[in-house]
Structure 1
Amino acid sequence: MPRWRLTPTSPLSVGIALPDRVVTNEELCETLNTSPGWIERKTGIRERRFLSDGETITDLAVASARKAVRQAGLSMRDIDVLVVTCSSPEWTMPSLGVMLADRLGIETPRIIDITQHACASVVYAVYSASCLLQEPDVQNALVVCAEGPSRVTDPADRLVRIFFGDAAGAMVLTKTPGSDGLLSYDLGNSPSPEVALAANALLNRQKAGADPVVGPYLTMDGPTVWQEATTRVPKSLAAALDAAGVEAGEVAGFALHQANLRLIEHIADSAGVDMAKVAVTVDTLGNTGGASPLTALWRLAQNGRAAAGDVIAVGAIGAGFLWGSLCFRLPYDLRVEA
């Protein structure tokens, strides 16, 4: 992919929102045929957050968006573009983006929902928002990635259930004077059914009384995911950095999809990246899908690795498969809540 040659854009702020309910490995093992130690050894995950009965994915999206806009020092009327991603919405229709805009008081007509990019969605959302910001009379975009995988994973599936947690992340993206901001990107895809979530159009087609060919829950082939992620993400990061003219050692921080800690460590090693530069949230949040790179960006800022002048890289892969990377040189400190 080429170097970004349009008007640069840069993240101003990141906000995250989490459910109150903490679910430990011990709690999961009350109903799953596994052990807390096995889960932590294999995944690096100790706990995650699940939505409670009274909470919704939309609630998380609203909360993260409000935090990001507040930290950016803006108001909702300053938002010209809204890009929302969610692979597990409560409703296929109406649009989550439209519902979110209504609750937040955002009046822009430039609303896009990205619904099938799964864990890679933030890369595509930021890329899409940056393209929309090329319009002359717009300045700020709000990207919101919200996921509730606890509600689409089988409570009895120990090979899938253990990985995921619920969260939302939001980023305010703004046009940037000068040359700093988004330097480059890399996007790629390869079709595969190895991570899948059936929709009503398929489920409703099945004959009454027949064994379903698919279920209502997320299915995932672990070895295929490992192979795709450890092959695609390092190459994508390398391509984005090469297009930006940046060496891996010059990058202050990496915000990678938080699939599981062992996978992150393998990707970092393959990419020649020092793990000290890689943000980790999967240990306490689990795999939060499309929101996970934003939780990682939030952690980078907390750790002082997203300051003005820093180069940061974002990389993710999602079901489909789709993958992508972004490289920024920050013109401003990335603002987050403590």
Structure 2
Amino acid sequence: MSRAPQLRQRRQADQAESAPDARNDQGAQQAILPRLQAQRRRIRSWEGDVLHVPQRRAASKNLHRAIAGLAAIALALGAQLPALGQSPKRLLFLTHAALYKHTSLGPAEQAVIALGKANGFAVTTVEGYKQDATQLDFSFLTPDYLAQFDGVMMMTNGNLPFTDAQKKNLLDFVRSGKGFIGAHCASLTFYDYPEFGEMLGGYFQRNLPQGTIAVLKVEDTRHPATRMLGSSWPLVDEFYVFGSAPWHESRPADNIDVLFKNKIPMGFTRDRVKVLLSLDTNAMDLSQQPNLVKGGDYPQAWTRDYGKGRSFYTSLGHRDDIWSSDPVFRAHITGGIRWALGLEQ
């Protein structure tokens, strides 16, 4: 299928499966405001100290004001500059989109650059999201170019036009002791290269409607990406369900990505990864979620060791504003990046 029909199919799928975008879903955000405010009072620094923020009653009337007010605090807590004379870690951030161009790709680049300046890593971007989906150019991604970095972050999608050598070089890069970070739609990348899925941990199968009010269960309260969260994290975003087994011709309708009909080459398993966050379906209203069951297992963020390197993935990051002004999410993604780069254990 050409990319143009795929893009049309994605728009149709969004209309069929998704509620209005969470960025405009004020009711959904207000519904979880009390829990979000409590959450933000538990934000911890990467040194493990707990910040107690005095309650601001006026903030209860305006979620975005509360988020903006705490963003600077969260960043200040997270600031971990390199020691004197020590160079920051170097991170390459790719945002090329072969299937669907999220509006959050630009804000994500801007956020990660800013977070890096305060947290010990320097970010290089190539603004891949600005390229036409049919003319993506990765000619720059040579072994020598990649070797200058300590990690690669991808918020990409589709079967990107890497050469076979480039695909192998990316995996060898991580296996050698470097870091990999996948954000949101990265799990829709390289359905044609299952070795990538082995490193990432799994492949997207379907999304929950945008604007879903979810409660995330924190399964590891000590990891740098989650230790600021307490035991649960209420959030409005787009959440994913991952393929549980490889596609097989005996059951052709199973283990297909519902948006673009990609055949899932490998199934997600907890045996491969360390889960950090999962949907707490017992704490959620599933009346509008026909694809979820109470007590089901729906991981949303995880880590894994890959050779001598580290891989971190989070399904979160669909909304533009979650990157620019949500201090809890920004702490989450920063902790994951720092862990993958070896800046934290």
User: TM-score surpassing 0.5?
Assistant: no
Q: Which structure features the higher share of strand residues? A: 1
Structure 1 length as normaliser, TM-score?
A: 0.30
Structure 2 length as normaliser, TM-score?
A: 0.30
